[in-house]
Amino acid sequence: MPLPRLLVWVALIASLVVNVVLLFMPSRGGEPLFPYDDKVIHCVLFGVPAYLGLRAGLKPAVWLPAMAGWAVLSEILQARLTATRSGSVWD
């Protein structure tokens, strides 16, 4: 049974809020949970909103480049605006 369109939009907005909060909150530091945990977390942080945007009916030719652009911009902003995070082209 398909999710109602409104529910998909609510989930998309919530996932974008979580994305911003987690990307810019202070780093927890310490040892990673497992090797390359940051790569997995980034994949989820950007993959979930990308998927939900497509489910909400956003055009892939616009939405997916926008999400990729946000991924790049967020790395630059992390490096410049936060004291506990660094930007990385590998993320």
Asked if residue 53 is part of any domain, the answer here is yes
Asked if residue 14 is part of any domain, the answer here is yes
Rounded to an integer, the average pLDDT of 43-61 is 97
Asked if residue 41 is part of any domain, the answer here is yes
pTM of the model: 0.82
| Number of domains into which the chain is organized | 1
Asked if residue 52 is part of any domain, the answer here is yes
Question: What's the one-letter identity of residue 56?
Answer: A
- Note the pLDDT of residue 89: 59
Asked if residue 29 is part of any domain, the answer here is no
Q: Is the pLDDT of residue 91 over 70?
A: no
Asked if residue 90 is part of any domain, the answer here is no
Q: Which domain holds residue 42?
A: 5-24+35-81
Would you tell me how many other CB atoms lie within 10 Å of the CB of residue 42? 20
Asked if residue 54 is part of any domain, the answer here is yes
pLDDT tens digits, one per residue of 20-48 = 998 888 777 778 788 888 889 899 999 99
Asked if residue 30 is part of any domain, the answer here is no
Residues counted in the chain: 91
* 55 contact partners, CB below 8 Å, separation of at least 6: 3, 8, 12
- Note the pLDDT of residue 27: 72
More confident residue, 16 or 87: 16
